Amino acid sequence: MQQKPPDRAPAGNGYAIRRVDRYRHGEHEVVSDAITEEVPVAMVYNDVSFAVMMVTPLDLEDFALGFSLSEGLVAGPEALHSIEVRPRLEGIEVAMHVASNVVEQRAGSSGERLLPGRSGCGLCGARMLEDAVRHPDPVGKGLCIEAAALERSLEALRAKQPVNSATGSVHAAAWVDAEGSIMLVREDVGRHNALDKLIGALVKARINTEQGFLLVTSRASYEMVTKAASVGIALMAAISAPTALAIHLAESTGMTLVGFARPGSFVVYTHPQRLLHSAGSHP
């Protein structure tokens, strides 16, 4: 059940409170409703504007680090020398200083925006087909988990999503240990953003990505697989379906890809050896 919002949202919690007209079973009432915030965030590297993302303004330093890593703009966290979050009249600017010139190379001599394509939003400025689909390196061995651990994480996830509990409109990306306990969660209106925030948080906390698995509340599109594989995640479970390209990339990188993960059932599309089924366990 969606939580009843307060009359005023606490500062910095990712949502605003608005008065709305609600109609239910023929009855009308004016109520306070929690509405997810979505603001333009300019990603600026070494004074070069790389992309403008629509983001829920929470955990932006995690987002900056995760985005930089998963998009291949830095090789490691040590190459991201500084992050400064700058509120602007039109939105937010995240200004970063990085060690390499990868951003300048990908932006081109005229400095135009060049962000690889996103499922559902076109090619977003990619000039060539090879710009649109990146093939990450193979993941490591990873760990094997009991199917019961996936079940436990699914049961626990809702209580770990405060923004979604208030608004019902954001995605979550969660890091889960081998026992099924949720260790970290990040939320955002965009599924890619939520994953980038989680990646940044994992790297900042120096969590070994071979010692757990990823659980996301969205579909498993190719860029979600690409981002996860870029930091060595060997098992990803999504509550919705994967795409054909996501399955292809998961197969080629050695990732175990699970879709339609719901209490009591799931579908394994690639590398099923990492999910163990004890006698009498379900499914």
Give catalytic residues, as residue numbers: 121
Round to the nearest angstrom and report the end-to-end CA distance of the chain: 26
Residues 6+ apart with CB under 8 A from 3: 34, 165, 166
Q: How far apart are CA 50 and CA 111, in angstroms?
A: 8
DSSP E strands in the chain: the ranges are 15-24, 27-36, 39-45, 48-55, 80-87, 92-98, 145-146, 171-177, 182-188, 212-216, 235-238, 256-262, 265-270, 275-276
- Cβ neighbour number for residue 120 with a 10 Å cutoff: 8
3-class secondary structure, 227: helix
Q: Do 196 and 63 contact (CB within 8 A), yes or no? A: yes
Q: For residue 269, which amino acid is it?
A: Y
Q: How far apart are CA 8 and CA 121, in angstroms?
A: 33
**Strand order across the beta sheet in which 80-87 lies:** 48-55, 39-45, 92-98, 80-87
Total number of residues shown for the chain: 283
